[in-house]
Structures are given as structure tokens and as C-alpha cells.
Structure 1
């Protein structure tokens, strides 16, 4: 099965509708499509071919979207690089993904050194070559690849196909409804599935996107209350800041505003109640990179009745708890549906994603007697900090590479600001200062992954098979 080219089709169906706005500028779907064709021609001139794999390292701004849409016209697979990562982390992902080209915003060129790098300024300066845009997209075509941290400490490159993105958009539409004048405020990063899925929904629905380069709580509150936007995606820490701004200004959400889609970990009940008082419906969601965004969503009507739940599966999806017989029993959350990735790339290409058609998430949860999902633990050891997933093993791996460190254990500590932050426990084999080890971490990993506290201990808690017991580390806090 194939889809018509989403850019061409959307331009044809509703070309004069607003597609994107950024600061004081805005573009219609026809204008976006024309620009995407120009960018595709420029990329062709620079040697980027149809069906090639390219990495994109950029900020969340219109130029980045035009480059991405140019790649869509060419039929490229896009490896979405996180601009917050350290040089070493980016080098691993570029090496693992074996990309043909790396498209880099000029402001980020210091982040990597590579012979196959193409700067945005180079793309801008060349004249477009002639090329033929792909008229049809195969259902199994890989559109995006995003790296997600693995329990081994090595990130995995997750493929997201046209079918994955389309089923995600359609399932969300069946759940929340769509209208021609919808505008989604996007201040989550485009390199995350939360941001990229908004772009995909925009093309599939014909929905406008109000883009921010980075989150601004005060402006977001104003947009929600003025009626300029109808939807917004955010994590708990962002929601709290928006609510504080709405409350301090004694404002109320516009009747035009429909919903906040909240993910990245459980949303505190107090936030949901405050949002209700401000006239902001909050839909709690559960999903992951491997499922191309949300899999379950809790309707605002059920929010108080099902406090702490992530809701029921969207229409095309199924969720079950492995090895359980009765409602309320904890077990691993399993997911089935067309939104589940067909697999990984690079070092994990041989790893099977599904067993008997079900994705084993590694997350623990239960279904109640009405079929509502409750997520008990986001992958037993996972730290969710301000919506960012942090795996302890990744930080431990960096600490263990330091010559003074014999053992390292990392766990999450509660934080009022971020939900959780990483904290490290270290056994030394020679003298070293905490500041020295933390500085070493800053060179290797993104700042949000660097432990906020580091404790020196005589030994770490381990089980009979010598496996580190991270849950016990939390009790040490």
C-alpha cells in the first residue's frame, strides 16, 4: 500500500490554509510545499539523493522544517539528532546510523567534525537542481529515526515509518477530534517524537503549527488564554509553569483552547485540578519513541475519577499486561498496533522489537477493571527528568571510564522543579574529587544527564548474581 505524498496532497487539498507560524511570520501549506521543493532541489545539487539517510542537527525553527520537508520530498530517511547532546554522544549516533550526509544549522557546527557535513548556509547559497519529487510514499518507508537510551547504556536508533506516523495521527484524531481551524502550539523539540509528531499531524490533518524555538511559559499562557492556539503538548514541569503564569495574571483559557496533551511521566493530580480551575483540559498520555508518540490517553472527563491513570488505548491499538490474569495485577506493559516501530538500526538492527506481535515495553503497570492503564514504573530504573528519559546505565558507563572510579551506581532523586534528577554513588580505586568527576561527565554527556549530586561510598548494593540494585540506592537518599 502507498500514501500520496503528504506535502503535495496537503498543498492541493487546502493550500491556502495556515500551515506554520513563527514569531511574526506565517506560511500557508502551498507556500510550505513550494519551499520544500526548493530545498529538495538544493539538497539534490549538494549530492543528497533519493532514499539516502541523512542526519539533521538543528534548532526548532522554520528553516529546520523546510530542510526536513525537503528531505521528505526526496524520500530521505532522517536521523533526528538531539542538539543538547555532548560531542561524544552525537559521534556515536552518527557512526551507528551510517548516514550519508549530516545537515547542520550553522549555530551548531561546533558540535561535530565530519567530512560529510553540510551547513544550512551552504544549502541556502546553492541554486536548486532539477529533481522529481516522490509522488507516492510506501507504507513501510522509514521517515524518521530517533535514538532512545537503552538499558545497556547504548542508545538505540528507532525507525518510524509512514504507517507508524499515519496511524498515530489518525488514532489521535479519532480520540480528540480535528477541526480546520486547529492550531497546535509546539514548544517541545522537533528532534523528539513529541515535536516531530506535531509536524506529521499538521500535514495529515491540515492543521496549523505555532512554533517556538524553545519553551516560554509566559508566552504559552498568553497564547492559550488569547485563543490563538487550540492544543499544546507538554510535560509536567512545563504544565506547572504555564499554570503559574495563568494564575498570577488572573487569566482563564480561551473557550477555543481544546486540550493539553501531557506526557513524559505521570502528571501530579494537583496540576490537573489547577488546570481545571484555569479552564485547561489536560489529557494524560503514555507512549514512547518506539510507538511514534501516544498509545493511551486519559480523557479529561475521566481525570478525577481515574486519578493517576494514563487512560485507555487509542482506537487502533491494544494494551495488555504480561502474565496477569486479574485487573489490578502489576506486570510488564505490552503494546500491539500499527504505531509500533518495525525495528532498530545500527548496533541493534538484529534485535527483535516485537514478540508474537507485541512490543515488550519494559515498563511496569496494570489495567483496572474498566481497562484503564496505570503506569507504575517507567522501566524500573528509568529517570524521567523534565520530560527527558535518562537511563542510569548510560551515566554509569561514563563514570566507569574515569581511571579513579571502580564502581558506579545511579538512581533518580525527587526534584520539585524537574520531577526527578540523577544522583550518583561512586566507589573509588584512587583519590578523586566530586567536582573532577562531574566535570568529566559534562564533557561526555548532555548537561541534564550529569548527576546533580555525587556521593562516595565503600560499596554498592548488589544481589547474589552481583547485579547492581538501583532501587536500594534510592533508599540511601
Structure 2
């Protein structure tokens, strides 16, 4: 099957009066969302002569208006380039030039970022608020699953970022794999507090339309508001990363979630045992996952019944997907470490205008992720770290994520990051950065590490910071820690 009806159009026909979006300011049924998206599409198409296959960029924060604009782009058939709102002006300009966009549609809030860009036309979102009367236009009533829907740029550790090509087939397959794993209930509500410009946020939006469920939309992450939404807004599913989960559990205190809450979907690395034990005690159903922009969100998931039995595992591949571990071109035996290689209909076809990187990362339909891991004897995947983050000290491999997990289990550690620094004797040694709950409280962090880690893994120095550098999806930006490590050890 290559073609299918436009997703929002068909959803509006099937369940027009079902709630589609709930935010603090607005609520939309699917009929209302479809009509609003048609109006937006009509304005953009007639005012800017947009045609199917053109590229436009969005620089917007989470809002109902951003949701409407994304759907409008799908109705027109233009490819949507989703820009990280934390980018500098130079970074935005490089990405929109690389992606060959016709114009940037952005919130006025980001005027300082885009005003200096002269190579691409800028359209501010508040210019769309007073739309002319609805004009009929030839919308894309069908979706060709082979068409490019979106392009997202990865953060990249060196050089320019890579534009990940995401087809409708990628998004469709991701949604199907997810629901075959998590199940689907007509009363489901998915809390969306991760950025819509990130695959974690966009995938929730697309799934909501395909599933016919409501998204509860937050403009940003706030642990107190997240907990309140679960308790009061009938939220049943939430997507977070480990650091977000820890903050939510801390903010929850002695309270608990209602029994209707059925899924805490987590990414961003393994969850430390103390946090998992609290979640089990409180009856919080945690699903640990592994995925990335190139896989259109999760590709591996661990169900709650295994969260302690298979501590640290990301789980098993979703339906239609395959995962193997490879070292020097050979498949690894159980418990043997190597590079994680994945395959499936949700995996991107490559990078925009980056043929060399595409050919390097994609071989015979398999995507070489650059992540290190292993499968145990039962086929459960364990993600160790990025190949580029690996610390080699005296010939021993040290995985920063393992150390961070131990440090996060300390009662006074709010956040933690570990990088390798040069050492004349050992080549590299681990250095830690931590954020404390209370700087006057217990700081015996290294003593805590000695209980759980081999001596060569224990950080030789610690820097205490007010916060760690993380991107909008809460992914730790290790390269910034590496840049700042000199002269900061305490």
C-alpha cells in the first residue's frame, strides 16, 4: 500500500466530535482542528503559491497554532523542516539554506534569532491570526507514504548537523509499531510536553490523529504541572526522558497517580534502580525505550513487568523492526558488546544532501546507529553509550551512562553528567558534573560511587554546577561539558 487518505481529513470524518487537543488556552475537536488546518493551508497556499514538494521551516514553541500549521503543511503537501528553538541565528540560517526552504514561519518571540537572516523570507505567526475568508483549494486528499513529510536536523557532535529525512511511511510505521506494543484505548489521552520540533513530540501528534485520541498539550516541561495533568486531566500516557521522570517522582512526593494512568514512556538512557523501585512502589507503569530521530521515535521498548528483572535494558524491537549487534562486520554473541544496528519501515532512508554520511550509516537496509550495546541471552537490548562518548582508561572501557546512573541514585544528586578528560598515566579518566538538590546537604558522592562501581570507573574529580547543558529533549550535551572541564574540577 503506497497511498492512503490524508490522516487528519479521515480522522475528522470518522470521529468529528471527539476531542483532539486540550491546552490551557484552547480545546479543539477533530472537526474543528481539520477546519482550522484547512484555513491555514488555504492562506499559505494562495498567499505564497506553495506547491507540493516545496520546503518550509517552522521555528515555533509548543502551541495549538503549531499543531494547526503542521497539519496545514501536510494538507498542502509541502515538506516541513522543524527547527530547534534553541538554535543561534547562524545555526538556523545554515539549516534553512541546506534544506532549501521557501520561507521560515516563526513565532514573534524568536524575532531576535531570525531578523538577521536575509537569505530566506520570514513570516511571523501573528500575521496569520486574521485570516481571510476560507478559500477552497486543492488539498492533498491522499498521502503517498513514500513522500517526505518532515526533515529534522540532528544535533551532531562535530561539524554541521544532518537533516534526517522522514517519510509518511516512517511516521505511519512508528505509530503502528507503538500501538501494537502499548495497546490502544478510546479513552487514552497522551500528555505532550516535549517539543513538537523534536521526534518525541511530533510522533505523539501524528499518533493522536491515527489513533483518534486526545493530546493534552503543554508549552514546556514542568514536573508539577505534568503531575497535575495526570491526576486531573485524565492523562493515560506520558513521554519523558529519565531526568524528567526523576523530577516528576520527586515532585509527586507521597502522592500517587490514578489507576487510569497506564504508561510512562521513557527514553534518554537507562533509569537508575532507586527511581525504578519508587515507580514500582507507587504503581507507575514505566516503559523504557530506545530510539532516535532516524527511527522516527522508539524502535525498542521494555515493558513494566521486566523493568527490575531486566534492569538497564531498553527491551526488544517493536513489531516490524529488527536489531542486531555487530563488531568488525560480524554479528555478536549474547552479552558481547558491539555497535547497535537497526532495520525497519520506520527507519529513515538517509540524510538530506549528505550522500557520504548516508552511504556510511546505511548498508543493505541496516542503519548503523553509532551506539554501543549488547543483547543478553534472552534477546533484550542493553544500550551502553555513544561510541564517541566511550572513555578508554588504561585499556578499560568506561561508559559514562553507567556512572551517571549510579550518581543519580544518590539522594542529593538532581542531575549528573560524565565525560573523559586526558590523563598522562591512563590516557583518559572520568570527570563528573553534578547538580545538587541542596548544596549544604550530603556531598559524599564519590563514596557513594565506591559502593557500586569498580575503582577505575569512579570519577577522579567533580564539578558542581547550577544546571547541566541539555537540549530541548533533555539530552545531555556532553561536548559542552568537555569544553568546560579544564580548570573547573573541585
Scaled to the shorter chain, the TM-score interval is 0.7 to 0.9
The 1-side partners of 2:188 and 2:137 are apart by: 33
Point out where structure 2 has 5 or more consecutive residues left out of the alignment.
391-399, 409-416, 420-427, 438-474
When normalised by structure 1's length, the TM-score is: 0.81
Of the three residues 124, 127, 130, the one matched with 1:122 is 127
Corresponding position of 1:326? 333
The 1-side partners of 2:293 and 2:181 are apart by: 20
Corresponding position of 2:470? none
User: In structure 2, the residue corresponding to 1:133 is in which secondary structure?
Assistant: coil
Residues 302-361 of structure 1: CA deviation (Å, up to 9, x unaligned): 111000000000111010011244200001101010011011113457732420111000
Corresponding position of 1:373? 381
Corresponding position of 2:41? 40
User: In structure 1, the residue corresponding to 2:175 is in which secondary structure?
Assistant: helix
Corresponding position of 1:25? 26
Of the three residues 199, 202, 208, the one matched with 2:205 is 199
Does 2:266 match 1:266? no
Residue 350 to residue 287, structure 1, CA distance change in 2 (3 Å): closer
The 1-side partners of 2:483 and 2:260 are apart by: 44
Q: How does 1:192-271 map to 2 (within 5 A)?
A: 192-226=198-232, 228-247=234-253, 250-271=254-275
Of the three residues 339, 348, 356, the one matched with 1:341 is 348
Residue 350 to residue 24, structure 1, CA distance change in 2 (3 Å): closer
Q: Is the contact made by 2:39 and 2:131 (CA closer than 8 Å) also made in structure 1? A: no
Q: Is the contact made by 2:26 and 2:64 (CA closer than 8 Å) also made in structure 1? A: no
Moved more, 318-327 or 167-176: 318-327
Aligned residues: 411
Does 2:187 match 1:186? no
User: In structure 2, the residue corresponding to 1:380 is in which secondary structure?
Assistant: helix
Shift in Å, 1:414: 4.2
Residues 105-159 of structure 1: CA deviation (Å, up to 9, x unaligned): 1111221124411111222234254311111111111111100033443200001
Shift in Å, 1:15: 1.2
Residues 237-288 of structure 1: CA deviation (Å, up to 9, x unaligned): 11011111211xx211111001111001222121111112222111110001
Residue 349 to residue 106, structure 1, CA distance change in 2 (3 Å): farther
The 1-side partners of 2:75 and 2:128 are apart by: 15
Q: Is the contact made by 1:246 and 1:278 (CA closer than 8 Å) also made in structure 2? A: no
Larger RCO: 1 or 2 (CA < 8 Å, sep 6+): 1
Corresponding position of 2:9? 8
When normalised by structure 2's length, the TM-score is: 0.79
Residue 237 to residue 156, structure 1, CA distance change in 2 (3 Å): same
Point out where structure 1 has 5 or more consecutive residues left out of the alignment.
393-408, 419-445, 458-475
Does 2:398 match 1:356? no
Corresponding position of 1:415? 434
Corresponding position of 2:464? none
The 2-side partners of 1:124 and 1:150 are apart by: 36
Does 2:88 match 1:81? no
Corresponding position of 2:96? 94
